[in-house]
Structure 1
């Protein structure tokens, strides 16, 4: 089902893997990339990987979408988790790629039911662990 504005389709595997992350917690993170007018799964992080593993998996000069299952402990000492959607568009990425990812983001995000927090980052500092933690609380 292509988006009329961007002509972008979403591979069914994207939705299946996201549901597994959300309901079964099989993965810590999933990165997605656009290839041949379709959003596909790029990389999957195992449950024992951490936020640093996730940020290191993002390419330094290419755009990606990502979801990250962030576990944290509240001030009341409760264990919680929130699913972050991260739109990664580094300054060093090609302008055309940034435009394609930007125009397809909302449509893709709607396919993933259960996202609780959204972040956009053009530089690793914009999605540091401290920023993610402050957005989760």
Structure 2
């Protein structure tokens, strides 16, 4: 309680400082609010619209079971499909130059192994 009384006595003795402080804080608050309001009305778009991703699909499985084509059609819904060559220099250059955002590689034998594991069904046991 003594600390509060001492703080109030100091504020009472320095009324001019308190008034200057409150005026400066009020002015700063008003100017920041004004800038925010002015900036929000000057913006052209009302919502955020991200750029579509540039995607390349490298097919090393010769489109077995149409896996690569299905992957391309699925990724084309949200991105822009890009064609690049399947050699290490082209892949490195596409990534380094920011030509593509995503490179999806379908490896050799993927469709066959996928179908092999998809046919395996787990056995369910009855527990007592």
Q: TM-score, normalised by structure 1?
A: 0.25
Instruction: Give 1 or 2: higher strand fraction.
Output: 1
Instruction: Give 1 or 2: higher helix fraction.
Output: 2
Which one scores higher on RCO, CA 8 angstroms, separation ≥ 6? 2
Rg (Cα) greater in structure: 2
Q: TM-score, normalised by structure 2?
A: 0.26
